[in-house]
Chains A and B, each alone.
Chain A
């Protein structure tokens, strides 16, 4: 299939949100683009799905906190139908005894505390506000770099040098004290930082969980400060660190992106898995679908992860060994499971009113709790007492469940991708443990469940072609970031084979429903792979 008048300018492998953003951006610049998505539905890990009759939920990503403002502005997503059911979701850190800690707004953003539950000491309140301001300054720096193309690691051109200088300058501009502090904590672990500053276990547990959601880290793992900053780098309506829910679930975001793409003449084809990337004369010239059909294009852009793209779709034979080694070494071991419950009514959480349940509920009563949940994961076992990030989006959005009924969506950690003995045998046991933990906070919850779905990283990999079931297509670790994301030699979105580009979460800046990787990649495709 080709558009009238010859080959496409670009074929995009995968209609995840980054593929959609990339396609729409290319379309906007006048390119003729086609998306080929393996699944029957667009969105990748940013979709909504009906998991029980009448009950719809965000299948993977459930909180919108990182969508890059440049992306939503450029694609005018609200015009294309994106609405938020809440833009200021609060957070409640659940305490086993019912003295919960409530935030009016997103964690870290609003320190006003609801008088009913746990009350923070004056010391914690002022430490928190200081810590929050500082972390948000650092996160702001990340935010700025998320929309830029990283320089090359072997910095040979003056542009690469400039890119590095820009990074150095941005850090320097924080001022002496902040710069020192950033360099001190950047590679450090969140538990140490929190223990230095705060007393409340509940508070530290909640921030600690935010730092490690979707990562292969525990709060005492090095790098967990960075992952917190990464999470805080997002903005909703200009408010840093804020949390939002899209109306209709995460699929609404990718629906709006698809609408923006279509408005820019992008052709979209679903249920079209790509079998291989066609290379002629050392240039990517198109894709071959599983069906045997070949779609030719001047550029091939892959939303799939780098390992799949380079080793399976392209093939190592087109690549050099050092590069293949780096790609093979990308770490993407998912540790987060996703729980969906269909409820025939709102459950009662001890110590909470019904109106509180519209907030994000965290089960992470202390740093130790989260770290203890993490320990078994290191050895290929699931947490007997997992930490959770829970939302009941149907409170904000009645379209998700039949009248009076609700859906609960939770990220559950830790559930290692490579579970010892395999998930088949263990899944029911893990489900029981999760229900036990939930029931301790909401005794009537189990009785309200009419349907349930637990997606392990293995399930996520199979359903969404997410490598290792990992949120980011590759761990957000210091050795897999920026000029080394996904690997050195492809960190400017161009793969070593001319004409092939990467635009997914595995590329800079990383995952989360952000769209920056897709946007940056589009800019590089337009430049024809030449360095920024």
Chain B
């Protein structure tokens, strides 16, 4: 066999690779931030239903992680992110996003407040140059620690029960967007009540040396709770149901674009609630204030679409043939039993007057065109009370 040279190997392996590779029976993999990760382990539907009915494990190690520390760390994050970070105390996690000068979104992510002047920022894309240049004038150190932390997401209604079975006493008291410290096999383990499926769930963070043991203990603890590894395809179904936006899908990362007019502001992707004009200057503030005064160009909406054919990438029309936007994510939701989509519409659009999706279906050498009527609805299609309940359910 020809051994590839190290430079020919174009992908990295996560600390869980030995486990995920063994479990991935379809051999369907994709690269995520340079790491190879399974799209589907065995069967997308089974994985999806496990996420909604029992528990799933998803390897999130490729998530970009930055350690942000130093006396100005909090002030720095207030400059970077559009939301007010003053209220984010140690033990808490905040979802936020950040913009370029024009007030256009660069990326979204979660910020973990680990202690005073000690934060961790997690995002999908890599942004070190932007983060460093934003730190000019601040006493803050920013380090990419992606490879130094293994992380796995445990999601689903039985996720709390799995952790209890593993012996994490009191885990049910952990509130949404909170995190706490534990030990596992001699390694410090951080557990946060966060996730990307819109359900009860946790993310577990450990040094790479402890990754194998963490995975094994989770699979073992979850044996009687229906645990399964989750591929990225089934994960995507759950995040659309939850109405979560994704970089590269609902918006294009502002620092990677060459066409400034294709970008979206926070207001234009339904994230206006994350913009705090009162806290002082932050990157993009002046542009966003102007937008607030003059109006946004787009709106991200949830759509309920007639029929059962997912409206992938469809144009959305109004009335006879006025094109008003596009679908960014679409799904027949097995749990909601609805044909749902997230769509970016040009504003102002008219809610009342006949929006329809132009859906094309290719079946056995034939294209069918469906003009599927649709309604603008709340984009949190799936949002069960158990996601928010504390103590968490542990059936």
Considering only residues 358-395 of chain B, those with a C-beta below 8 Å from chain A are none
In the assembly, what is the distance between CA of A324 and CA of B130, in Å?
Answer: 11
In the assembly, what is the distance between CA of A324 and CA of B80, in Å?
Answer: 13
In the assembly, what is the distance between CA of A325 and CA of B255, in Å?
Answer: 13
Give the segment of A105-113, A252-260, A262-270, A315-323 that binds chain B.
A315-323
In the assembly, what is the distance between CA of A7 and CA of B164, in Å?
Answer: 67
Residues of chain B with a CB closer than 8 A to A311's CB: 136-137
Considering only residues 196-235 of chain A, those with a C-beta below 8 Å from chain B are none
Q: Say whether B349 faces chain A, with CB atoms less than 8 Å apart.
A: no
Q: A322 — nearest CB in chain B belongs to which residue?
A: B101
Given contacts A321-B101, A322-B100, A489-B101, contact A282 B286 (CB under 8 A): yes
Residues of chain A with a CB closer than 8 A to B75's CB: 317
Q: Say whether A328 faces chain B, with CB atoms less than 8 Å apart.
A: yes
Q: Say whether B111 faces chain A, with CB atoms less than 8 Å apart.
A: no
Other A-B pairs, 4, CB within 8 Å; known A328-B133, A489-B101: A282-B286, A316-B137, A316-B138, A322-B101
Residues of chain B with a CB closer than 8 A to A282's CB: 281, 285-286
Find out whether the CB atom of A321 lies under 8 angstroms from the CB atom of B286.
Answer: no
Q: Say whether B15 faces chain A, with CB atoms less than 8 Å apart.
A: no
Binding site for A on B (CB under 8 A): 75, 79, 100-101, 130, 133-134, 136-138, 281, 283-286
Q: Say whether A496 faces chain B, with CB atoms less than 8 Å apart.
A: yes
Residues of chain B with a CB closer than 8 A to A323's CB: 101
In the assembly, what is the distance between CA of A83 and CA of B75, in Å?
Answer: 55
Q: B129 — nearest CB in chain A belongs to which residue?
A: A325
Given contacts A282-B286, A489-B101, A496-B286, contact A321 B133 (CB under 8 A): yes
Find out whether the CB atom of B281 lies under 8 angstroms from the CB atom of A324.
Answer: no
Residues of chain A with a CB closer than 8 A to B281's CB: 282, 317-318
For this complex, 29 residue pairs linking A to B, each with C-beta atoms less than 8 Å apart, are A282-B281, A282-B285, A282-B286, A311-B136, A315-B137, A316-B137, A316-B138, A317-B75, A317-B137, A317-B138, A317-B281, A318-B281, A320-B100, A320-B101, A320-B283, A320-B286, A321-B101, A321-B130, A321-B134, A321-B283, A322-B100, A322-B101, A323-B101, A324-B133, A324-B134, A325-B133, A328-B133, A489-B101, A496-B286
Given contacts A325-B133, A489-B101, contact A320 B138 (CB under 8 A): no
Residues of chain A with a CB closer than 8 A to B133's CB: 321, 324-325, 328
Residues of chain A with a CB closer than 8 A to B134's CB: 321, 324
Considering only residues 265-319 of chain A, those with a C-beta below 8 Å from chain B are 282, 311, 315-318
In the assembly, what is the distance between CA of A322 and CA of B129, in Å?
Answer: 11
Q: A281 — nearest CB in chain B belongs to which residue?
A: B280
Q: Nearest Cβ in chain A — how far from B54, in angstroms?
A: 44
In the assembly, what is the distance between CA of A240 and CA of B284, in Å?
Answer: 45
In the assembly, what is the distance between CA of A496 and CA of B130, in Å?
Answer: 19
Residues of chain B with a CB closer than 8 A to A316's CB: 136-138
Number of interface residues of A (CB under 8 A): 15
Q: Nearest Cβ in chain A — how far from B277, in angstroms?
A: 10
In the assembly, what is the distance between CA of A102 and CA of B286, in Å?
Answer: 58
Main secondary structure of the interface of A (DSSP, over half): helix
Residues of chain A with a CB closer than 8 A to B130's CB: 321
In the assembly, what is the distance between CA of A282 and CA of B286, in Å?
Answer: 9
Q: B79 — nearest CB in chain A belongs to which residue?
A: A317
In the assembly, what is the distance between CA of A445 and CA of B321, in Å?
Answer: 87
Residues of chain A with a CB closer than 8 A to B79's CB: 317
In the assembly, what is the distance between CA of A282 and CA of B289, in Å?
Answer: 12
Residues of chain A with a CB closer than 8 A to B137's CB: 311, 315-317
Q: Nearest Cβ in chain B — how far from A159, in angstroms?
A: 17
Find out whether the CB atom of A321 lies under 8 angstroms from the CB atom of B138.
Answer: no
Residues of chain B with a CB closer than 8 A to A321's CB: 100-101, 130, 133-134, 283
Residues of chain B with a CB closer than 8 A to A318's CB: 281
Residues of chain B with a CB closer than 8 A to A320's CB: 100-101, 283-284, 286
Q: Nearest Cβ in chain A — how far from B283, in angstroms?
A: 5
In the assembly, what is the distance between CA of A324 and CA of B286, in Å?
Answer: 15
Q: Nearest Cβ in chain B — how far from A310, in angstroms?
A: 10
Q: Nearest Cβ in chain B — how far from A306, in angstroms?
A: 14
Residues of chain A with a CB closer than 8 A to B100's CB: 320-322
1/0 per residue A51-72: CB within 8 Å of B?
0000000000000000000000
1/0 per residue A319-340: CB within 8 Å of B?
0111111001000000000000
Q: A327 — nearest CB in chain B belongs to which residue?
A: B136
Query: What are the 9 A-B residue pairs with the smallest beta carbon separation, nearest first?
Result: A316-B137, A320-B101, A322-B101, A321-B134, A316-B136, A320-B283, A321-B133, A325-B133, A321-B283
Residues of chain B with a CB closer than 8 A to A317's CB: 75, 79, 137-138, 281
Residues of chain B with a CB closer than 8 A to A322's CB: 100-101
Q: Nearest Cβ in chain B — how far from A285, in angstroms?
A: 14
In the assembly, what is the distance between CA of A317 and CA of B74, in Å?
Answer: 13
Residues of chain A with a CB closer than 8 A to B138's CB: 316-317
From A321, A324, A489, residue with most partner B Cβ within 10 Å: A321
Residues of chain A with a CB closer than 8 A to B136's CB: 311, 316, 324, 328
In the assembly, what is the distance between CA of A154 and CA of B190, in Å?
Answer: 47
Q: Nearest Cβ in chain A — how far from B228, in angstroms?
A: 42
Q: B254 — nearest CB in chain A belongs to which residue?
A: A322
Residues of chain B with a CB closer than 8 A to A325's CB: 133
Q: Nearest Cβ in chain B — how far from A252, in angstroms?
A: 40
Q: B136 — nearest CB in chain A belongs to which residue?
A: A316
Residues of chain B with a CB closer than 8 A to A324's CB: 133-134, 136
Q: Nearest Cβ in chain B — how far from A487, in angstroms?
A: 11
In the assembly, what is the distance between CA of A40 and CA of B100, in Å?
Answer: 41
From A318, A322, A325, A489, residue with most partner B Cβ within 10 Å: A322
Q: A325 — nearest CB in chain B belongs to which residue?
A: B133
Q: A496 — nearest CB in chain B belongs to which residue?
A: B286
Q: A317 — nearest CB in chain B belongs to which residue?
A: B137
Residues of chain B with a CB closer than 8 A to A496's CB: 286
Residues of chain A with a CB closer than 8 A to B286's CB: 282, 320, 496
Q: Nearest Cβ in chain A — how far from B274, in angstroms?
A: 17
Q: Nearest Cβ in chain A — how far from B260, in angstroms?
A: 8
In the assembly, what is the distance between CA of A489 and CA of B75, in Å?
Answer: 25
Q: Nearest Cβ in chain B — how far from A499, in angstroms?
A: 13
In the assembly, what is the distance between CA of A503 and CA of B8, in Å?
Answer: 54
Q: A323 — nearest CB in chain B belongs to which residue?
A: B101
In the assembly, what is the distance between CA of A81 and CA of B141, in Å?
Answer: 56
In the assembly, what is the distance between CA of A93 and CA of B130, in Å?
Answer: 51
In the assembly, what is the distance between CA of A323 and CA of B133, in Å?
Answer: 10
In the assembly, what is the distance between CA of A311 and CA of B79, in Å?
Answer: 15
Q: Nearest Cβ in chain B — how far from A324, in angstroms?
A: 6
In the assembly, what is the distance between CA of A35 and CA of B108, in Å?
Answer: 45
Q: Nearest Cβ in chain A — how far from B250, in angstroms?
A: 22
In the assembly, what is the distance between CA of A323 and CA of B284, in Å?
Answer: 11
In the assembly, what is the distance between CA of A435 and CA of B286, in Å?
Answer: 56
Q: Nearest Cβ in chain B — how far from A276, in angstroms?
A: 12
Q: Nearest Cβ in chain B — how far from A459, in angstroms?
A: 28
In the assembly, what is the distance between CA of A324 and CA of B136, in Å?
Answer: 8
In the assembly, what is the distance between CA of A320 and CA of B283, in Å?
Answer: 5
In the assembly, what is the distance between CA of A315 and CA of B286, in Å?
Answer: 16
Q: Nearest Cβ in chain B — how far from A313, in angstroms?
A: 12
Q: A154 — nearest CB in chain B belongs to which residue?
A: B260
In the assembly, what is the distance between CA of A320 and CA of B136, in Å?
Answer: 11
Q: B282 — nearest CB in chain A belongs to which residue?
A: A320
In the assembly, what is the distance between CA of A321 and CA of B285, in Å?
Answer: 12
From A311, A316, A328, A489, residue with most partner B Cβ within 10 Å: A316
Q: Nearest Cβ in chain A — how far from B4, in angstroms?
A: 38
From B75, B79, B130, residue with most partner A Cβ within 10 Å: B79
Residues of chain A with a CB closer than 8 A to B283's CB: 320-321
In the assembly, what is the distance between CA of A325 and CA of B135, in Å?
Answer: 11
Considering only residues 471-503 of chain A, those with a C-beta below 8 Å from chain B are 489, 496
In the assembly, what is the distance between CA of A322 and CA of B286, in Å?
Answer: 13
In the assembly, what is the distance between CA of A321 and CA of B136, in Å?
Answer: 9
From A320, A322, A496, residue with most partner B Cβ within 10 Å: A320
In the assembly, what is the distance between CA of A320 and CA of B82, in Å?
Answer: 12
